[in-house]
Amino acid sequence: MAAKKYMVPMSSPDISEDDRQAVFETMQTRYLSIGPKIEAFERSFREFTGAAEAVGVNSGTSGLHLCVKAAGISEGDLVITTPFSFVSSTNVLLFERAVPVFVDVDPMTGNLDVAQVKQAVEDIISKDPGKLKKWLPKKIAVKTGPLKAILSVDVFGQPAEYDQLQKIVSDHELTLIEDSCEALGAEYKHKKAGGFGDFGVFAFYPNKQVTTGEGGMVITNNKEYADMLRALRNQGRAPGDTWLQHTYLGYNYRLDELSAALGISQMKRVNKLLNDRQRVADWYNAKLSQINGVEKPFVTTDTTRMSWFVYVIRLDKQIDRDVLANKLDIAGIPVRPYFLPIHLQPYMVDLFGYQSGDYPVTEDIGNRSIALPFSGIMTEEQVDLVCEKLSECLLN
């Protein structure tokens, strides 16, 4: 598919001369996979997040999948999660035939509504079939088992409410998987995203804050989990196995050395990358204040550092989002509806019988939101241009 010519790109990676050099130098070595770069990249994450263990993988989705496996989540197990996310966070549960228990989101942040999460946990463990039924999908192909985990997502770079989520998981001995794939460097009450659960996962697709082309990283403080993640990413080879011994059914989820080299180089200036994105978000925040009909992204006071992944605005109810998106597209400004709710994706409707109206807050936000072009290398002129076109398209 030929790329359409836009006046401003939807997103752009920030690649420096040092980044290019780092990849180039790695190509001169004999280590293109399983070498020193992956280890150094993992070290950079231990240092940045303070986690005891970091395990590099070839995508955020692979990382999340391995967390599900390492946590022992299997067929029929229930996992509370959010329908307002990128599909991966639910798909990794389906890979293991676990059953996602969707809980609607907070209308301001779009993150899991913790009061409802608490209610869902209490209802599910009450063993009262009537209460349980309220939270389950209409149609389930497997026999349901116990509630095992909460998989929360730090949507758009803003951490979920971890004081509450941590209390819930510790009261009920559940596993907490934190999908921080959009939130590298974000802080909740001065603590870094990714570090609030038993596992935290980051992703490095080119539109993320730090990129390796494709790639991901899992952090944990649990050595046994880390050993399992390392075995499963490497075709099931446990510590001590030889190249052709496979203790477990594993995967090839390894991150290659070229990608890791790019990752190390990017992590050296991670704070600059995040600050550049903050500056662009600040421009948008200032300029959008003068435009009627749009709501700027909401950042709670608990988010002591926002890690801007995308810049998503909400439109007033009377504005037809899709008509506006189309006008902007024609005007040369790419925009994306964010997110199409997971429960309404065709395969989810087929599998679980969801209907519109099932998660009203998620659907309302999903219907009214668009992501504007965004990256750390956008200029103020580009932000001006987007705001000008947005303003024109809203008026005509």
Ligand X SMILES: *Cc1c(COP(=O)(O)O)cnc(C)c1O
Q: Which residues of the shown chain bind ligand X in the complex (CB under 6 A)?
A: 59-61, 85-86, 88-89, 153, 179, 181-182, 203, 205, 216
Strand partners, 218: 55, 201
Is the Cβ of residue 63 or residue 250 nearer to ligand X in the bound state?
63
Ramachandran area for residue 282 (φ above 0: left; ψ -120 to 50: alpha; else beta): alpha
Cβ proximity to ligand X, 59 vs 158, nearer residue: 59
Smallest gap, in angstroms, from Cβ of residue 389 to ligand X? 26
Beta carbon of residue 370, minimum distance to ligand X (angstroms, whole number): 16
C-alpha distances (whole Å) from 391 to each of 300, 312, 318 are 26, 16, 15
Q: Give the nearer residue to ligand X in terms of CB position, either 112 or 324.
A: 112
Per-residue three-class SS string for 326-344: HHHHHCCCCCEECCCCHHH
Closest CB 366 distance from ligand X, rounded Å: 14
109 vs 382, beta carbon nearer ligand X? 109
For ligand X, the closer CB: 14 or 179: 179
CB of 86 to ligand X, least distance (A): 4
CB nearer to ligand X: pick between 91 and 221: 91
CA dist list (Å): 87 to 40, 64, 81, 93, 381:
30, 12, 11, 11, 33
Coil, helix or strand for 269? coil
The least CB distance from residue 30 to ligand X, in Å, is: 28
Number of C-alpha atoms within 13 angstroms, CB side, residue 25?
Answer: 13
Q: Quick one: 205 or 284, whose CB is closer to ligand X?
A: 205
- Could you tell me the maximum CA-CA distance found in the chain, to the nearest angstrom? 67
Closest residue to ligand X in the complex (CB): 60
d(CA 270, CA 179): 19
The residue among 341, 332, 353 whose CA lies nearest residue 5 is 332
Round to whole Å and give the CA distance between 347 and 151: 20
- Gap between the Cα atoms of 366 and 359, Å rounded: 11
Dihedrals phi, psi of 333, to nearest 5 degrees: -115, 115
